[in-house]
Amino acid sequence: MLIGHYNYWVVVALMMLGFFIIIAHGNLIKKIIGLTIFQTSVFIFYISIAKLDGGSAPILAEGVSDYSNPLPHVLILTAIVVGIATTALGLAITVRINEAYGSIEEEFIQKQDNQT
Amino acid sequence: MAAPLCLFLKRPKLVWLFTCIVTALTFLISVLLLQQVITHGTLVYELGGWAAPWGIEYRIDQLNAFILCIISGISAVVAMAAHTSLQKELSKDRHIYFYMLYLLSLTGMLGIVATGDAFNVFVFLEISSLSAYALIAMGNDRRALWASYKYLIMGTVGATFILIGIGLMYQMTGTLNMHDLAQRLPEVSQTRTVFVSFAFIVVGVCLKLALFPLHLWLPNAYAYAPSIVTAMFAATATKVAVYLLIRFTFTIYGLSFSFTTLPLNILFLVLGLTGVFVASVAAIYKNNVKHIFAYSSVAQVGYMIVGLSVGTAAGLTATLVHIFNHALMKGALFLALAGVMYRLGNVQLSGFQGLGRQMPLTMAAIVVGGLSLIGVPLTVGFISKWYLVLAVIENGWWPVAVLILLGSLLAIVYLWRIIEMAYFKPANEHSETVKEAPFSILIPVWILVIANIYFGIDTRISVGIAQSAAQSLFGITP
Which residues in chain B are closer than 8 Å to A71, comparing Cβ atoms?
176
Query: What's the predicted TM-score (pTM) here?
Result: 0.86
Give the pLDDT of residue B47: 63
| The one-letter amino acid at B117 | D
CA atoms of B267 and B257, how far apart (whole Å):
14
CB-count burial class (<10 Å; 0-12, 13-18, 19+) for B388: buried
Q: Which residue has the higher pLDDT, B289 or B45?
A: B289
Q: Inspect the interface and report whether the beta carbons of B153 and A109 lie closer than 8 Å.
A: no
Q: Inspect the interface and report whether the beta carbons of A75 and B160 lie closer than 8 Å.
A: no
| Residue A24 maps to a domain | yes
- Per-residue pLDDT of B328-357, as tens digits, reads 888 888 888 888 888 777 777 777 777 777
3-state DSSP assignment of residue B396:
coil
**Is B223 at the interface with chain A, CB within 8 A?**
no
Q: Which residue has the higher pLDDT, B288 or B92?
A: B288
CB-count burial class (<10 Å; 0-12, 13-18, 19+) for B393: middle
Indicate the pLDDT class of residue A24, thresholds 50, 70 and 90. confident
Indicate the pLDDT class of residue B9, thresholds 50, 70 and 90. very low
Indicate the pLDDT class of residue B13, thresholds 50, 70 and 90. low
Q: Inspect the interface and report whether the beta carbons of B163 and A100 lie closer than 8 Å.
A: no
| Residue A61 maps to a domain | no
Closest CA to B407 of B366, B452, B370, B374: B374
| Residue B281 maps to a domain | yes
| Residue B33 maps to a domain | no
Give the pLDDT of residue A35: 92
Q: Specify which of A3-17, A79-93, B316-330 reaches the highest per-range mean pLDDT.
A: A79-93
- The domain of B462 spans 273-478
Q: Tell me the Ramachandran region of residue B286: left when phi exceeds 0, alpha when psi lies from -120 to 50, beta otherwise.
A: beta
Q: Inspect the interface and report whether the beta carbons of A93 and B145 lie closer than 8 Å.
A: yes
Across A39-54, average pLDDT: 82
Closest CA to B295 of B307, B284, B311, B309: B284
Mean pLDDT score of chain B: 79
Alpha carbons within 13 A on the beta-carbon side of B132: 32
| Residue B476 maps to a domain | yes
Q: Taking the CB of residue A91, how many other CB atoms lie within 10 A of it?
A: 13
CA atoms of B459 and B253, how far apart (whole Å):
31
| Residue A101 maps to a domain | yes
Closest CA to B322 of B404, B253, B443, B212: B404
Q: Which residue has the higher pLDDT, B397 or B168?
A: B168
3-state DSSP assignment of residue B348:
strand
Nearest by CB to B153, from A22, A78, A85: name it. Answer: A22
| Residue B451 maps to a domain | yes
Chain A closest-CA separation from residue B145 CA (Å): 6
Indicate whether B10 pLDDT > 70.
no
Tell me the residues of A at the B interface, defined by beta carbons under 8 Å apart. 19, 22, 28, 31, 35, 38-39, 42, 45-46, 49, 71-72, 75, 78-79, 82, 85-86, 89-90, 93-94, 96-97, 100-101, 109, 113
- Per-residue pLDDT of B152-163, as tens digits, reads 988 899 899 999
* Domain count along chain A: 1
Q: Which residue has the higher pLDDT, B228 or B186?
A: B228
CA atoms of A45 and A28, how far apart (whole Å):
26
Across B56-73, average pLDDT: 80
Q: Percent of chain B at pLDDT above 70?
A: 90
**Is B172 at the interface with chain A, CB within 8 A?**
no
Q: Inspect the interface and report whether the beta carbons of A22 and B157 lie closer than 8 Å.
A: yes
Contacts of residue B374, defined as CB under 8 A and 6 or more positions apart, other chains included, come to B381, B408, B411, B412, B415
Q: Inspect the interface and report whether the beta carbons of A100 and B156 lie closer than 8 Å.
A: no
Q: Specify which of B20-24, B83-87, B152-156, B373-377 reaches the highest per-range mean pLDDT.
A: B152-156
Which residues in chain A are closer than 8 Å to B173, comparing Cβ atoms?
none
C-alpha B141: how far from chain center = 24
CA atoms of B27 and B449, how far apart (whole Å):
18
Give the pLDDT of residue A33: 92
Give the pLDDT of residue B8: 47
| Residue B404 maps to a domain | yes
- Per-residue pLDDT of B182-205, as tens digits, reads 777 777 777 778 888 888 888 888
Write the CA distances from B157 to B41, B107, B146, B188, B207, integer angstroms: 36, 22, 17, 27, 8
Give the pLDDT of residue A91: 93
Indicate whether A1 pLDDT > 70.
no
Indicate whether B5 pLDDT > 50.
no
Whichever domain contains A43, its CATH number is 1.10.287.3510
Indicate the pLDDT class of residue B272, thresholds 50, 70 and 90. confident
3-state DSSP assignment of residue B458:
coil
Across A42-46, average pLDDT: 88
Chain B closest-CA separation from residue A45 CA (Å): 8
Across A15-41, average pLDDT: 89
Indicate whether A113 pLDDT > 90.
no
Which residues in chain A are closer than 8 Å to B153, comparing Cβ atoms?
22, 31, 35, 90
CB-count burial class (<10 Å; 0-12, 13-18, 19+) for A49: middle
**Is B216 at the interface with chain A, CB within 8 A?**
no
Give the pLDDT of residue B2: 42
The angle formed by the CA atoms of residues B13, B14 and B16, to the nearest 5 degrees, is: 65
Q: Inspect the interface and report whether the beta carbons of A28 and B148 lie closer than 8 Å.
A: no
Which residues in chain A are closer than 8 Å to B143, comparing Cβ atoms?
113
- The domain of A34 spans 6-52+66-115
What ipTM goes with this model?
A: 0.89
Q: Which residue has the higher pLDDT, B426 or B167?
A: B167
Across B436-465, average pLDDT: 78
- Per-residue pLDDT of B389-427, as tens digits, reads 888 888 777 888 888 888 888 888 888 888 887 777 776
Omega before residue B213 within 30° of 0, cis = yes
For chain B, how big is the Rg over CA atoms in Å?
Answer: 21
Give the pLDDT of residue B7: 44
Write the CA distances from B213 to B197, B206, B219, B243, B268, integer angstroms: 21, 9, 13, 19, 11
Across A4-24, average pLDDT: 85
Indicate the pLDDT class of residue A89, thresholds 50, 70 and 90. very high
Closest CA to B262 of B180, B187, B199, B173: B199
C-alpha A100: how far from chain center = 28
| Residue B393 maps to a domain | yes
Indicate whether B448 pLDDT > 70.
yes
Contacts across the A-B interface (CB distance below 8 Å): 68
| Residue B145 maps to a domain | no
Which residues in chain A are closer than 8 Å to B156, comparing Cβ atoms?
35, 39, 86, 90
Chain A closest-CA separation from residue B54 CA (Å): 10
Across B252-273, average pLDDT: 77
| Residue A18 maps to a domain | yes
Chain A closest-CA separation from residue B437 CA (Å): 28
Which residues in chain A are closer than 8 Å to B160, comparing Cβ atoms?
38-39, 42
Which residues in chain A are closer than 8 Å to B164, comparing Cβ atoms?
42, 45
| Residue B267 maps to a domain | no
**Is B119 at the interface with chain A, CB within 8 A?**
yes
Give the pLDDT of residue B4: 45
Indicate the pLDDT class of residue A88, thresholds 50, 70 and 90. very high
Give the pLDDT of residue B3: 43
Q: Which residue has the higher pLDDT, B429 or B419?
A: B419
Indicate whether B478 pLDDT > 60.
no
Is the distance from CB of B284 to CB of B410 less than 8 angstroms? yes
* Domain count along chain B: 1
Which residues in chain A are closer than 8 Å to B171, comparing Cβ atoms?
49
| Residue A58 maps to a domain | no
Which residues in chain A are closer than 8 Å to B170, comparing Cβ atoms?
49, 72
| Residue A74 maps to a domain | yes
From first CA to last CA, the distance across chain B in angstroms is: 37
Q: Inspect the interface and report whether the beta carbons of A35 and B153 lie closer than 8 Å.
A: yes
